[in-house]
A = this chain, B = another copy of it.
Amino acid sequence: MDNVSASGIKALVFDVFGTVVDWRSGVAREVAAFIASAQVTVDPFEFADAWRREYAPAMAEVRAGNRGFVRLDVLHRENLEKALMGFGIDPQSIPAASLDELNLAWHKLDPWPDAVPGLSRLKERFIIAPLSNGNIRLMLDIAKRAGIPWDAILGAEVVRMYKPAPSVYLDTAELLAIEPAELCMVAAHNDDLKAAKACGLKTAFVSRPREHGGAQTKDLFAEGQWDFVASSFIELADMMLGVGQSKRQ
């Protein structure tokens, strides 16, 4: 097992949905409030899962060039209508303002308990920023509500493309005026790290075995030769700041 050094790394960029914040519990909480007011019958967690299932296909249309870049808030709003229809609910039967309000569920997600303490320590040595498919205002609202101390809000809307397209990782390194190898992608998703590594970035996997609730079967373990593998942001900070021992899979 090599002892990996973080000495060449200048900036850390983070996946957010699942890695920094618990999107499923947060969305389900807002859906539950919506159910009470809109008088519809759905399971809040099942609805959150259904809404999230529309996420990847919607972004794929943009990546494929079938659609110009639109921010994630717009895709979430469209996906909300699809999710409702999937549950047999006509979106037209609900006031648009109520759906707009529910769409803000994604702006009110809570971080995993270790995220803010870990990020606060990592910020002392590194530039830290989200590299999420979420848009600027979405990331900003989450951070402001939760006290996440980002140095900047980077991500899809800044580079006008969705992960895992290579340009997202490479253009972000370029914006930061650093080499790809000086940038480390932190994510709970092996696919994100695979794409980042292919662009020459360093990679850190932080496992989030409760992202999808108890039924999670994917991303339980590191599935690639990532530079760092940790079970929390606290452990990642220990590794990257040289406290304890670095770990390589």
Interface residues of A (CB under 8 A from B): 73, 127, 135-137, 139-140, 143-144, 150-154, 157-158, 175-177
How far apart are the CA atoms of A4 and B139 in the complex, in Å?
Answer: 31
Indicate if the CB atoms of B140 and A127 lie closer than 8 Å. Answer: yes
Contact for A151 among B135, B144, B157, CB less than 8 A: B144
25 pairs, A vs B, C-beta closer than 8 Å: A73-B177, A127-B140, A127-B144, A135-B175, A136-B152, A136-B154, A136-B158, A136-B175, A136-B176, A137-B175, A137-B176, A137-B177, A139-B152, A140-B151, A140-B152, A140-B176, A143-B151, A144-B151, A150-B152, A151-B153, A152-B152, A152-B153, A153-B153, A157-B175, A158-B158
Knowing that A140-B151, A144-B151 touch, tell me 10 more A-B residue pairs with CB under 8 angstroms: A73-B177, A127-B140, A127-B144, A135-B175, A136-B158, A136-B175, A136-B176, A139-B152, A140-B152, A153-B153
A86 CB, nearest partner CB in chain B, Å = 27
Which residue of chain B has the shortest Cβ distance to A157 in the bound complex?
B175
Closest 3 CB pairs of A and B: A152-B153, A137-B177, A140-B152
Distance of A153 Cα from B152 Cα, bound (Å):
5
Chain B proximity of A167: nearest CB distance (Å): 15
CB distance from A156 to the nearest CB of B (A): 12
Question: Which B residues touch A144, using CB under 8 A?
Answer: 127, 151
Note all chain B residues with C-beta closer than 8 A to A152. Answer: 136, 139-140, 150, 152-153
Report the nearest B residue to A175, measured CB to CB: B136
Residue of B nearest to A138 (CB): B177
How far does the Cβ of A161 sit from chain B's closest Cβ, in whole Å? 14
Q: Bound state CA distance, A139 and B140, in angstroms?
A: 17
Q: A139 to B175: give the CA distance in the assembly, Å.
A: 12
Contacts of A135 in B (CB 8 A): 175
